[in-house]
Structures are given as structure tokens and as C-alpha cells.
């Protein structure tokens, strides 16, 4: 009786195979918009060797004219600031972070929903408005409003660094090797820096200029450079566009610099409404060294550069949400 049943089943399967020839069915898995960054303790900050490298890079980018003559004191002040950013153990609670920088299409949807203003769309030229490109020219408060609409907020500086470096002490999201052709960065401005001291160069020009040796003169589509992935799955943690964070720049206070006075548990410096804000990650317009996972831009020390009402075509953002929100 059992052999008849098996034979019948074999016939049925043969008939089914004839009616529906074998084929491979590929089930596409939707890529998540955000990734989980687990809670943990990591080393945040800049050690002596790293600080020396950053100071040297600052002087190459901003500190000399064509004759090798130092102009201004920016990099001297940067050295002092780095001295207040020494490595320390920081605990960060778990959070969800956008895999990619907020895109123009994302921001357009916020405008259509009535939750975001459209001013940023008309602040720059059309080269920055590709739907799949990162949204730039957004003021800090506008970025915060977008993140609230999405049920989140801007990341703290500690959260951003945690996502970029994980448990590593290497200078790049991928490790220790320098890979300048594998992320989107700029270069120092080609005009002699001596002109800055004569008031010829604008404050935006100080940031540098585009460098297409990495494949893109301006911002690239999200995730184009695989080496820029953070250890938890975020993309473009090195270069492309610099990103707003929630933290105020400490140098606006006469008594605080760097990480002075911050907690070692979920640190954030809220500051006052008009305080300049920390940006991280480097951009298509800035020198390579600013894409290091622990680097702050020396130009943060200029009060007007990263004021919350400033619009910049090389600064975008991404959002975070508490892990308990999912």
C-alpha cells in the first residue's frame, strides 16, 4: 500500500514539473533605510600622534602661502583645541541611524507633507538637486525639523563617531590605510593662502575646492564608494558631504573647549540657539584629512563658518532614532 502511495506521489510531482518547468525564484530583500548601532563603550577622541598629523595637515591646507610663509593663527588654535579632545572612554546607548545621507527626494517629500520649508531647494544651483543626491544647503534647524518629521533627530557628535569607527582606533571607517581614490573628497583651494590675510578670499572659499580625481567633482549618489561604509552598515561615513550633528561647538564658550565638561555617557553639548554646530565626515569640497573618523574641521573655530543659519553646498545630514523607537 505504501509503495502505491509513493508511486502516485512521484507521478504527481512529474506532472507538476511538466506543467511548471523548473526555475529559480529570486526574492528581493528590501534594503533597510536605517541600521542599528548597538550600545557600547568606544574610544572617542584624538591621541597625540593623531593630533600631530591633523595639525600638520591643517598647515598644509590652510596655514601657508605659496612661499611657505605662515599666515594667520588658525592652525595654532586648532592644536590647542585638539589638546582638549584627548581619547576617552564613552558609552553610547543603542540607536538607529540612517544608512545614507538624507537625499533630495527625501527632503522633497518632507516639503510636500508641509513639515519642511522649501528655502534650501532654491539656495544653490541645480547641480545639487538630483533626486538621488544628498540634500545640501540645509540650515541646521531645517535639518532638525526634517528629522523630527521622520520621528528622529540629528545624531550627537559621539553617536556619529561611534557609527563611523565602531570599536576601531583606525583613522578611517575601513581601517588604517589611506585610500584617497576610494572616497569623495576635495583639496585645498588653489589660490595663494596669503590672499586670505588680505581679505580677498571669501570664508566659503577657505573650505577648499572640488577634486574629481576620485571620480566625482561634486557629491556622489549614496553608497557609491564601498570603502566608506561604517562598521555597522552606514554608508559614506568618509567624504561626500559633511554632516550636521546635534552638538554645539564648545569654543563658543570662554570656559570650554573640545570635550571639556561633557559626560562620558551619551554626551552632547546642547549650547545656545545661535551657537555654531559641529559637522563631521569631510566632503567633496574639503581636504582629505577631514574625512578621518575623529577629525573636526579647523574652520569650526571661525564663529561664522558653521552658524546654524549658514547654508553650504557641501554640508548635508542624516537622522537617528532611539533603539526603543523600533
Residues 106-119, mean pLDDT to the nearest whole number: 97
pLDDT in tens, 136-158: 999 999 999 999 999 999 999 99
Give the lowest-confidence range in 8-12, 95-99, 111-115.
Answer: 8-12
pLDDT at 3 over 50: no
Which of 14-18, 28-32, 99-103, 194-198: highest mean pLDDT? 99-103
Residues 223-227, mean pLDDT to the nearest whole number: 80
- Please give the model's pTM, rounded to 2 decimal places: 0.85
pLDDT at 9 over 60: no
What pLDDT is recorded for position 30?
55
pLDDT at 244 over 90: yes
Percent of the chain with pLDDT over 70: 81
**pLDDT band, residue 304 (cuts 50/70/90):** confident
pLDDT at 25 over 70: no
Phi, psi of 80 (to 5 degrees): -65, -40
Residue 173 near residue 165, CB atoms below 8 Å: yes
Nearest to 222 by CA among 114, 104, 301: 104
Nearest to 177 by CA among 235, 88, 238: 238
What pLDDT is recorded for position 176?
83
C-alpha cell at 207: 573650505
Nearest to 248 by CA among 256, 239, 237, 236: 256
Environment class of 277 (CB within 10 Å of its CB; exposed 0-12, middle 13-18, buried 19+)? buried
Nearest to 206 by CA among 217, 219, 216, 192: 192
Residues 116-130, mean pLDDT to the nearest whole number: 90
Give the whole-angstrom CA distance, residue 289 versus residue 53: 9
Which has more pLDDT, 71 or 259?
259
Give the whole-angstrom CA distance, residue 29 versus residue 16: 28
Residues 152-170, mean pLDDT to the nearest whole number: 95
How is the beta sheet containing 95-98 ordered, strand by strand? 34-37, 95-98, 320-322
What pLDDT is recorded for position 135?
96
Q: What is the dihedral of CA 241, 44, 320, 292, to 10 degrees?
A: 10
Element containing residue 53 per DSSP (H, E): helix 48-58
**CA dist list (Å): 255 to 8, 252, 263:** 86, 9, 16
Give the lowest-confidence range in 106-110, 156-160, 202-206, 217-221.
Answer: 202-206
pLDDT at 17 over 70: no
Percent of the chain with pLDDT over 90: 58
**pLDDT band, residue 189 (cuts 50/70/90):** confident
Residues 235-257, mean pLDDT to the nearest whole number: 88
Residue 318 near residue 243, CB atoms below 8 Å: yes
What pLDDT is recorded for position 122?
92
Residues 227-237, mean pLDDT to the nearest whole number: 91
What pLDDT is recorded for position 325?
53
Give the lowest-confidence range in 23-27, 186-190, 200-204, 277-281.
Answer: 23-27
What pLDDT is recorded for position 205?
65
Report the sign of the C-alpha dihedral through residues 36, 248, 117, 136, in that order: negative
Residues 162-190, mean pLDDT to the nearest whole number: 86
pLDDT at 10 over 60: no
What pLDDT is recorded for position 191?
56
Pairing of strands 95-98, 186-187: unpaired
| 3-state helix, strand and coil shares in percent for the chain, rounded to the nearest 5 | 35, 15, 50
Mean pLDDT estimate for the chain: 84
Which of 3-17, 176-190, 300-314: highest mean pLDDT? 300-314
Amino acid at each position: 500500500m505504501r509503495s502505491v502511495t509513493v508511486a502516485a506521489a512521484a507521478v504527481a510531482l512529474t506532472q507538476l514539473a511538466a506543467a511548471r518547468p523548473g526555475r529559480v525564484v529570486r526574492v528581493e530583500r528590501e534594503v533597510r533605510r536605517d541600521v542599528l548601532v548597538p550600545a557600547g563603550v568606544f574610544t572617542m577622541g584624538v591621541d597625540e600622534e593623531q593630533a600631530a598629523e591633523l595639525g600638520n595637515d591643517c598647515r598644509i591646507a590652510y596655514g601657508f602661502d605659496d612661499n611657505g610663509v605662515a599666515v594667520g593663527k588658525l592652525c595654532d588654535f586648532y592644536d590647542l583645541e585638539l589638546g582638549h579632545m584627548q581619547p576617552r572612554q564613552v558609552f553610547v546607548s543603542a540607536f538607529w541611524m540612517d544608512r545614507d545621507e538624507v537625499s533630495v527626494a527625501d527632503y522633497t517629500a518632507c516639503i510636500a507633507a508641509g513639515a519642511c520649508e522649501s528655502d534650501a531647494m532654491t539656495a544653490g544651483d541645480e547641480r545639487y538637486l538630483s533626486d538621488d543626491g544628498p540634500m545640501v544647503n540645509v540650515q541646521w534647524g531645517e535639518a532638525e525639523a526634517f528629522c523630527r518629521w521622520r520621528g528622529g533627530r540629528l545624531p550627537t557628535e559621539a553617536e556619529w563617531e561611534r557609527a563611523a569607527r565602531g570599536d576601531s582606533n583606525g583613522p578611517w571607517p575601513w581601517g588604517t590605510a589611506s585610500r584617497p581614490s576610494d572616497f569623495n573628497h576635495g583639496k585645498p583651494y588653489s589660490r595663494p593662502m596669503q590672499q586670505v590675510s588680505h581679505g580677498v578670499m571669501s570664508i566659503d572659499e577657505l573650505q577648499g575646492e572640488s577634486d574629481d580625481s576620485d571620480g566625482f567633482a561634486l557629491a556622489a549618489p549614496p553608497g557609491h564608494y564601498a570603502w566608506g561604509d561604517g562598521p555597522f552598515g552606514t554608508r559614506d561615513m568618509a567624504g561626500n558631504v559633511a554632516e550636521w550633528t546635534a552638538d554645539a561647538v564648545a569654543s563658543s564658550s570662554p570656559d570650554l573647549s573640545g570635550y571639556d565638561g561633557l559626560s562620558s555617557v551619551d554626551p552632547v553639548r546642547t549650547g545656545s540657539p545661535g551657537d555654531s554646530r559641529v559637522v563631521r565626515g569631510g566632503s567633496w569640497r574639503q581636504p582629505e584629512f577631514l574625512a578621518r573618523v575623529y577629525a573636526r574641521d579647523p574652520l569650526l573655530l571661525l564663529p561664522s563658518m558653521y552658524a546654524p543659519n549658514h547654508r553650504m553646498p557641501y554640508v548635508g545630514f542624516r537622522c537617528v532614532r532611539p533603539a526603543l523607537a523600533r
